[in-house]
Amino acid sequence: MNSYPSQAQQPFQQQQNSFPPQTQQHFPQQQDPSGRQQPGGPQSNQVDKNLDPLGWALAEYGSPFAHSKDWRATPSDLELTGLPQQKFMSRVKQRFARSPGEVWDKPPPSFGRTPQQGWSYAPFEPFSLPAAGEQLADGFKPLYFGRVLADHDVSAADWARFLEDISVAGRMTGGQQVISQIAPVTMHLGATGYFVTKAIQKRMKQSKNPVISETVEMWEQNFFLRRGLDVYIRDTEGRMTSYAPGEPVPGSAVAKTNDMDHHSHDDSDDDSSDTDGHHGEKSRKEKKKEREERKKKRKEEKKRKEKEHKKDKKKPQFYLIVAPKQSM
């Protein structure tokens, strides 16, 4: 298994946040998050569980949203629709309070947990999360659709860490120095040679946000696909991330359509307007009128496109898509 981490616009407006009808489910048996001291949680005795349950869970399990050491989903996750913004951002800041080599100190428990039995893993309609800002590096809004995600054994703790990793990766992109700091960490986690493969090097050169892309792909490969989910980033032109680091992006070979420049066509109309000398004065006036009408239409079309462009700039340019896994 590869290491961790190495990290729609209008086409998705028709993909409404759709959830399967709630059916009777047999939930996986959960570990009792009691106040007893657990191995690996020496700080838990210093936090009052009743006064600060999120702080207690963070000290005890490594995530304020977890209910067990392996972060498995619980029935309570089904009812959640979002994550506390303040708590989420504080976790991101805490990661950067460490030394550069400790930002990616260890993979989440999610990667080592096998998909839990008892959930229905029911089919669902794809849905999307908009970017938190204009840039991909801004991350995505901390939304959590529990009725779908928890039913596929993706707990609030899993999802929060995933979004947190994207935000951390977004703040680290922008220089080879950052990547050189991440590489030794991934190698320490068992990914010797991971960054030196030709496929990875090629993808990193082509991608504007290589750390973000490979973080998403690492989660995709090691966690989401095993739970019947396909989670990826797309922009206004199409899918940006693959099923695993180094693999080609599905559909990336499809030719992109571009707006055509009509100026050369319009100029040719102007140049050929008076070539037929046998036409009378009236004919030349008619052609002149037609040219003026075409110019007027071009100006109107240009204004319309500029208006649409300004409107589109206000919309999110990046989306995090959650869809059922398709057979490969």
pLDDT average, residue stretch 271-283: 52
Report the pLDDT value the prediction gives residue 129, as an integer from 0 to 100: 93
DSSP secondary structure code for residue 249 in this structure: P
pLDDT digits (tens, 9 = 90+) for 200-212: 455 544 555 778 8
CA distance 133 to 315: 9
- pLDDT band per the 50, 70, 90 thresholds, residue 310: low
CB 122: neighbour CB atoms within 10 A?
17
Tokens encoding 327: 């057979």
CA distance 227 to 155: 12
Is the pLDDT at 218 greater than 60? The verdict is: yes
pLDDT digits (tens, 9 = 90+) for 38-48: 444 444 458 88
Global pTM reads: 0.64
Is the pLDDT at 179 greater than 70? The verdict is: no
